[in-house]
Amino acid sequence: MKVYLAFIVLGSSLLAALGSSSEEIDSSEFGTVKGPRGTNCTCGWANKNEKRIVSGVETGINEFPFMAGLMSQRYKIVICGGSIITEWHVLTAAHCTRPMVDANTPMAVVVGEHDTVRKLETDATKIINVKYPIEHEKYGTLGHPNDIALLVLEEKIEFTKLVGPVCLPTNIINLNHKYITVMGWGRLKFEGGGSSVLMKVNLKVVPTEECNKKNPLKIPTDIPRQFCTGGNRRKDSCKGDSGGPLVMVDPETNRYVLHGIVSMGFGCATEKPGINTNVAYYLDWIQRKVHESVPGVYTCSKS
């Protein structure tokens, strides 16, 4: 969930995708067939969906097997997104876990989900309790630096065609002006309700200078720990999308790679860009925490 400070949206929220746009890309083959280069383990695939991403549309059922939702064990309502990175781990935002940690609220994740209300469209859905979260040691609430957390699960995720891990990047790359896909069960507008079905939208990565000019907090984007997206009145992530993935297809593998975690925004679908955690910067931290929590388990990436 996105954390809120007055008009500031921090954390998970629904996708704000208002109106149409010419910024469409044909994603119908993304992640569905293997590229010329492989990965060290199976990751980042997508299940065929005939829809194209216009200004925020419903995903195909189990289109993105790596998508997860964070919830409390008691209420089982998705409050943030997350990404499956191993059979035992889900990656999300620290601002999503911090309120639950402070309140001593037991957490759970849902995998294989699509419609959080009907729950009849897929047999892949499963809720797994979180054993414990690992928040980044230097996470801070002002500007949300190091907004990343690893959820260690009590039970192993069973990987199938419909549920599996996303690929991690191998190094930091320049994402400026590239289009990146974000998905979640967040709100469709700032004061609106959440979406019961998983939504997706393509957002443009905004250069740091432009992002800083439009940041009402006047806190510079923490490069390379963060990057900005959106700044479009028609398309954005919103409250409820926090902690969820921002992914791009690697043209060499044709597999989805997790580049960002939805962290902070200022309203939804405004001219103010959203701020995201840059996953590539934290690769060493992720690998270390994965190995410390479950020895012998590894993440997947391009080989």
Catalytic-residue membership of 95: yes
Does the annotation count 241 as an active-site position? no
Q: Which of 55, 147, 241, 259 is catalytic?
A: 147
Give the β-pairing of 235-236 and 226-230: unpaired
Using the CB atoms, write b or e for 272-295: b if 16+ within 10 Å.
bbbbbbbbbbbbebbeebbeebbe
Residue 142's Cβ-count burial label (10 Å; 0-12, 13-18, 19+) is exposed
Catalytic residue among 242, 263, 293, 301: 242
Cα dihedral 69/31/203/207 (nearest 10): 110
Q: Single out the catalytic residue among 95, 136, 144, 259.
A: 95
* Residue 147: active-site member: yes
Backbone angles phi and psi of 159, in degrees to 5: -80, 135
Residue 206 phi/psi, 5-degree rounding, is -100, 135
Other beta carbons within 10 angstroms of residue 149's beta carbon come to 27
Catalytic residue numbers, as ranges? 95, 147, 242
